[in-house]
Chain A
Amino acid sequence: MPVPTLPIENPAASVASPSGYAIEFDDVSIAFDEKVVLQNISFHLEHGETKAIFGVAGSGKSTLLKLAIGLLRPDSGRIFVLGEEVTRMSEQELFDLRRRVGIVFQESALFDSLKVYENVAFRLMEEHISGEEIERRVREVLHFVELERTYDMRPSELSGGMRRRVAIARAIITEPEVLLYDSPTGGLDPVTSNTIVELIMKQRDVYKTSALLVTHRLQDAFTMATHQFDKATNQMVALPKGQFCEVQMSFLILRDAKVIFDGDAHQLATSRDEYIREYIS
């Protein structure tokens, strides 16, 4: 299994074939009101890989996800998702591509005027799938996130953790090829955070979905790198010390609008960069 390396060490990474990766950023820059948020960002996400993205608040982590799904347009550079160049697509073409990508927003972004099942089934309803099929799939996916009892509830009746789980259910109901998680554990207590991490791990290990995971909690990403989801017991289990999960897991750190690290857990743990050492300590 190829291990992603630091782009600085491997300049070829930035000119790799666009269709070879689930997501590829090629020299992407964006600024808001003359404030540069991301500058010359290049990285790629392999099919089946999960990449955790770190950075302090305001470092452009969420912007990066919104760029990937075409909700924002970069000032320069190219972005490829599932072999298609997002940066050249019209909004109408993007609607079709987005059906193959799932996203979980920072604050869940559930439609508060709709019930849980309507939120989860939103995309299926838009595709005019039959009522029975929708109900079956909604119940199935709510079972996956262990929230069957919330079927008829409104988002305002749910706790923060439950809302994130519903948002995950909404994102995965169409079995997307790529998942984008924007701080799925942000603002949650450790126990609930663990439940969310377990859920993301379950999606990763059971369905092998490629994913970008934006987080400010390093421990979540390390848990994902050192644990694996066990289908038999329906819970995550720790891997023996020194062994990492079967599914490719990598880390990307943003600082001052640039990528300062892109590599695996071992490379991160042994990095000599002062900032990174301070960040992971």
Chain B
Amino acid sequence: MAFELELISPIEVAKDVVLAVQEYTLLSFQSLANFFRRPLYMADMVQQADLIGVGSLPIVILTGLSVGALLALNAASTLQRFGSVTLIGQLVSLGMVTELGPLITGLMVAGRNASGMASELGSMIVTEQIDAMRALGTDPTKKLITPRIGATGFMLFFLTIIADLLGLIGGYGVAHLLFGVDTNQYWTSVWQILVFRDVFTGLIKPVLFGFIISTVGCYYGMSTKGGTQGVGRSTTQAVVAASVLILIVDFFVTKLIFAIFGYR
């Protein structure tokens, strides 16, 4: 039996990529513009906030605690060599608040919710529910996408604060119980090391990550083709694309904030 491998022209691939970027950009702009157009589906936004925020809480608590504890453990083994184990609090604080808190929370929520959005909307596409919604005179971007963008950005902001706090608690557990760091000393160093720039960086990122997670998840869901197999494909692509975009955007946002506020 002979197998034929179909060769795809690089020009066609490039065209598809440009088209996808164009469609993603249009969908994102349209969904953002919907915040200023009536009707605003507040009930749907609250429902999504519950699904995304409250639903993601256990996983964020667990990862926040673990990452904080691991950060303290790894930092302590190096700091011990220089007799500076009391600086653990500073390292955990800076690491969690500016970088790991938003990043880990973003990646966790991307894994959980970008996939959820892509599969939900993808299923609605293949079962003609989106067409039915349009036929019933309702704009699916207003009813389905805008509430998800609002809810994800809003909830990721608070989830990140919770993850930061739990990371600091996890770090404290390791520093105090394993390395005998004084409670007061730990929390004072945690507090004192932080400046406005660090907090600003740590709080602007989740809003951007929330936007990426929701728009990527919704875009892949809304562009689903090819039945149930297509839904599976969209789900995987949404998680991969959202995660990669989060990492790229994280780098550039950090660089930009350093450029604006200056290095330490």
Collect the chain A residues with CB atoms within 8 Å of residue B128's CB.
Answer: 105-107, 109
**Does B255 sit at the interface, judged by CB under 8 A?**
no
Map CB proximity to B onto A72-116 as digits: 1 under 8 Å, 0 otherwise: 000000000000000000011001101101010111011110000
- Chain A proximity of B225: nearest CB distance (Å): 12
A71 to B130, CA, bound (A): 10
B129 touches A126 (CB 8 A): no
Contact flag A71-B137 (CB < 8 Å), given A109-B129, A112-B129: no
Interface of A is mostly: mixed
In the complex, the chain B residue whose C-beta lies closest to that of A65 is B135
**Does B139 sit at the interface, judged by CB under 8 A?**
yes
Contact flag A71-B134 (CB < 8 Å), given A109-B128, A112-B129: yes
A126 touches B127 (CB 8 A): no
Map CB proximity to A onto B215-226 as digits: 1 under 8 Å, 0 otherwise: 000000000000
**Does A66 sit at the interface, judged by CB under 8 A?**
yes
A106 to B126, CA, bound (A): 12
Interface residues of B toward A: which range?
Answer: 10 to 19
- Chain A proximity of B33: nearest CB distance (Å): 12
Map CB proximity to B onto A60-74 as digits: 1 under 8 Å, 0 otherwise: 000000100101000
B136 touches A112 (CB 8 A): no
Map CB proximity to A onto B122-151 as digits: 1 under 8 Å, 0 otherwise: 001001110111111111000000000000
Collect the chain A residues with CB atoms within 8 Å of residue B127's CB.
Answer: 107, 109, 112
B137 touches A111 (CB 8 A): no
Q: Name the residue among A66, A91, A95, A109 with the largest chain B CB count within 10 angstroms.
A: A109
Collect the chain B residues with CB atoms within 8 Å of residue A126's CB.
Answer: 39, 136-138
Contact flag A71-B135 (CB < 8 Å), given A109-B127, A112-B129: yes
Contact flag A111-B131 (CB < 8 Å), given A126-B136, A126-B138: no
Given contacts A95-B134, A98-B136, 8 further A-B contacts (CB under 8 A): A92-B139, A98-B134, A103-B135, A107-B128, A109-B127, A110-B132, A111-B133, A126-B39
